[in-house]
Structure 1
């Protein structure tokens, strides 16, 4: 039984790696062709190739669920086409046992993907963007990852930040302070802000107060002013939620909630990353059920086609349910779990029918 398990796992693993190689390779070529439009005298073809190579792990992580799905279909399908699965079942190996053996390489790949997502993807994204910026500008930069035009709110105060750099510095700060009647009471502008000893220090400050139908202007070279953002979270604004590791998404989501700010997209990205194994195993069950059921005798190309359709359907369903969850107010976790549950239930029904 151990020999049979290793053989089945090896077939599925080899098929999955081959599928990933093809998908990621095609994506790399098409992305490189798109990048060619941005070539300059300083940003050459070699720079573009290197930039995309640095971001290659991110693309592998993105296409891993589809690669696993199609890999399971091809691996099990190849065994079905040579009647090896029929022989295994005739020898007394149940369908659930065969699926368990086929899922072993999936578990290993998912563990590696979760570790990479948590500890490496954000660093690689920062490194890639820094390399690209330096190549295009010809300058050495200590920091280039920035978020632009941020709007923050705390009580009756609204903050606009032109640039938030990933070293914790803020550039171009504007504060609008309203009274209880929602009338503008004070406006502060500052060229930049640094976080020192637990406080934000604004530089080159201009303050305008509205009182008794008069405007009073004051200027400060430096002013201590509380801002509704922590330096450790400034860098996170420079990246899309999908680029952040789950631990950062969890921490930042709770921080935004405590400040009464919108956190839905960060929670959606968090649940998509944390529940990715659930989604993958659900589509694996469905893919395996097709192999033992309606697709056991069809050509490999047909199985690949069905695998891509299933993967895209699940992806589109989650993409549609995600914004719907934010709009209607239910937990974003359901946007991930509902399509996965449908796949799992459908797959188990087909397996039971085939058995």
Structure 2
């Protein structure tokens, strides 16, 4: 069995590598054609576009690896069937369970490679590619809103460890590649959702330890003597208390700078402007927890987190789905027909996977079930197919 295991591994690895390179070349071509219209604008040159395409390849490896594993395994199994090698293996005593076990051990390596690209390489190269592209074009990181990027924060009595005394909404018009904030607006509310202060700043830079340094600050404080109004907690507001929206007076002052303690970090701001599919599971977990703590919708990021965990494991399912092709003799169709069937299965898996994620956001289905549902559907198909070929 060791010889068969080695033969299976080498044959499938060669086929998967060939399919993977073909898919990567196709994705690189599409990425490059997408960059061609902006080449020559504001210093963006062909070398920048080529580097951008190269840095995006690890993400494409993560995305297409399950389909490459499916097609590569189908091609190998179809070749075994066409040359009667699989029939000889079966006649020599190899059972379906042993063949599935050999595929499973090969799948472990492919799953590990996928996890490495999805969790360690792609989350680092994708932001670098985006920053490089924006820097070459003289642009900044932005989100799809005219008013800039928005995120929510809680205000605590003692930095980030005390009791919650209110909430704060961050609005950043521009988030530069070096982490600097441009045109910052902070809307602070007490626990009764009455506005107690409005802070605007021309710039903001992160000092570490959850502290931002704001420059050219204008602070407007709404104050009254209502007993249930919460005290201010932002730096620079000492001596002012009992703020509320039904205020009896408004105090406005200009400051050259002020420190602001916040749970919002540059990582959270950059993540809020990122595509969840290009984030690592750790980044998704941190941002989903931040959204949940601030009573914001986090289903999309929770689903993306569980998909990051389950999607690479779909390689096992898709390779099991390819095993029945070894039982189909040449009279059941040539290798090209089987490859076409594999492509259709891969396209079907991608469609079901995308549809499941979209339905999970719209429905109340638990995020783990939403992420694993496509794999369960195709696992059932694989088991039915294996049962039918074994029966016949």
TM-score band (shorter)? 0.7 to 0.9
1:330 partner SS:
coil
Query: What is the CA deviation profile of residues 90-142 of structure 1, one whole-angstrom value per residue up to 9, with x for unaligned ones?
Result: 111011211222343332122122123222212212332343344444x9xxx
Range with bigger deviation, 193-202 or 35-44: 193-202
In 2, the alpha carbon distance for the partners of 1:11 and 1:297 equals 22
Q: Which residue of 1 aligns with 2:279?
A: 244
**Distance across 2 between alignment mates of 1:130 and 1:218:** 36
**Partner residue, 1:98:** 99
Provide the TM-score with structure 1 as the length reference: 0.87
Unpaired segments of 5 or more residues in structure 1?
Answer: none
Q: Which residue of 302, 322, 346 maps to 1:287?
A: 322
The alpha-carbon distance between structure 1 residues 196 and 5, as it changes in their structure 2 partners (threshold 3 A), is: closer
**Residue of structure 1 in register with 2:374 after alignment:** 339
Residue 7 (structure 2) pairs with residue 16 (structure 1):
no
Q: Distance in 1 between matches of 2:207 and 2:131?
A: 26
Which residue does the alignment assign to 2:241?
A: none
CA displacement, residues 139-198 of structure 1 (integer Å, 9 cap, x when unaligned): 9xxxx6566522325455433222344654333221223467755443221122334463
Q: Which residue of 2 aligns with 1:193?
A: 204
- Is contact 1:165-1:235 (8 Å) kept? no
Distance in 2 separating the partners of 1:73 and 1:278 = 18
The match for 2:230 is none
By how many angstroms is 1:39 displaced?
Answer: 1.1
CA distance in 2, matches of 1:104, 1:30: 34
Residue 158 of structure 2 aligns with which residue?
none
SS of equivalent to 1:225: strand
- Unaligned 5+ runs, structure 2: 155-165, 224-246
Q: Which residue of 2 aligns with 1:72?
A: 73
Aligned ranges for residues 82-93 of structure 1 at < 5 Å? 82-93=83-94
Alpha-carbon separation, structure 1, partners of 2:25 and 2:4: 32
Displacement of 1:238 after TM fit? Answer: 4.0
Q: CA deviation at 1:291?
A: 3.8
Instruction: Give the Cα–Cα distance (whole angstroms) in 2 for the partners of residues 97 and 90 of structure 1.
Output: 13
Cα pair 2:220 2:252 within 8 Å, conserved: yes
1:115 aligns with: 116
Partner of 1:325 in structure 2? 360
Structure 1 residues 91-100 or 319-328, which shifts more? 319-328
Q: In 1, distance between residues paired with 2:269 and 2:149?
A: 12
Contact 1:164 1:237 survives alignment (8 Å)? no
Whole-Å separation in 1 of the counterparts to 2:193 and 2:293? 22
1:79 offset after TM fit, Å?
0.7
Q: Does 1:204 align with 2:204?
A: no
| Between 116-125 and 78-87, the greater mean CA deviation after superposition | 116-125
Q: 1:8 to 1:156 in 2, by over 3 A?
A: closer
CA RMSD for the aligned pairs? Answer: 2.7
Distance 1:52 1:296, change over 3 A: farther
Inter-CA distance 296–252: structure 2 relative to 1 (3 Å threshold): farther
1:15-54 equivalence runs, <5 A: 15-40=15-40, 42-54=43-55
Q: What is the count of residue pairs matched by the alignment?
A: 350
TM-score, normalisation: structure 2: 0.80
Give the whole-Å Cα distance in 1 for the aligned partners of 2:44 and 2:207: 37
* 1:170 match: 181
Say whether the 8 Å CA contact 2:152–2:170 is kept in structure 1: yes
SS of alignment partner, residue 176 of structure 1? strand
